[in-house]
Homo-oligomer: A and B are copies of this chain.
Amino acid sequence: MSDAPDLRLHGFFRSSTSYRVRVALNLKGLVYDQTTYVLRKGEHRGEDYLAVNPQGLVPTLETDQGMIAQSLAIIEWLDETHPEPAFLPDDAWSRARVRGLAQMIALDVHPINNLRVLFYLRDQFGADDDAQTAWFHHWVNQAFSALEKRLANDKETGAFCHGNMPGLADICLASQVVNNRRFGVDIAPYPTLKRIYNACMALPAFQDALPENQPDAA
């Protein structure tokens, strides 16, 4: 018998999608090991990691059944295999709401603002730091404006995105706000998002997952 955890997160302290999975693991009270890759050095494009994940993107969750790629798929798997506390509501209608809110960030902000895209902009279009920052702000502000309207107006919004317990949408929201720190995006125009983010950050699961609290933090 071994005391080693059954779960190993392959990720990077500054990766926003790795942050999501760290929060999810923490909320479920699961212990896990980490293997980390320095993205700016391209370590996630090396043979070792490509054998784990042919896409060469972090994170991947290593389980006793095998590897799971894609942060949202990992989080839904964690929720299905460890139901408490739930990341999604009980009824289909509410689940659609929460998944839709989460996807406004997970699909319509993060992939466009990912490091590999910023590198392509720099290399192919000569985008300097200012142009990259403007790009990053643009996609965040487009989604955050709409998300603020949704969350401020929907009766389902509570202390968190859906009711009074954190779930999938809060994990995605918090990961984006944390990621925004690197580009100085102002959250003041989004009072509801700010309020929910602060509610997340009052919880150890979200605090402990922060980049600066990881073993590979520079």
Contact = CB atoms under 8 A, between A and B. Distances in A.
Interface string A91-103: 0110111011001
Contacts of A213: none
A19 to B, nearest CB: 16
Interface string A79-106: 0110000000000110111011001101
Interface string A41-73: 000000000000011110000000110111011
Number of copies: 2
A121 interface: yes
Interface of A: 54-57, 65-66, 68-70, 72-74, 76-77, 80-81, 92-93, 95-97, 99-100, 103-104, 106-108, 110-112, 117, 120-121, 124-125, 127, 131, 134-135, 138, 142-143, 145-147, 149-150
Nearest to A76: B99
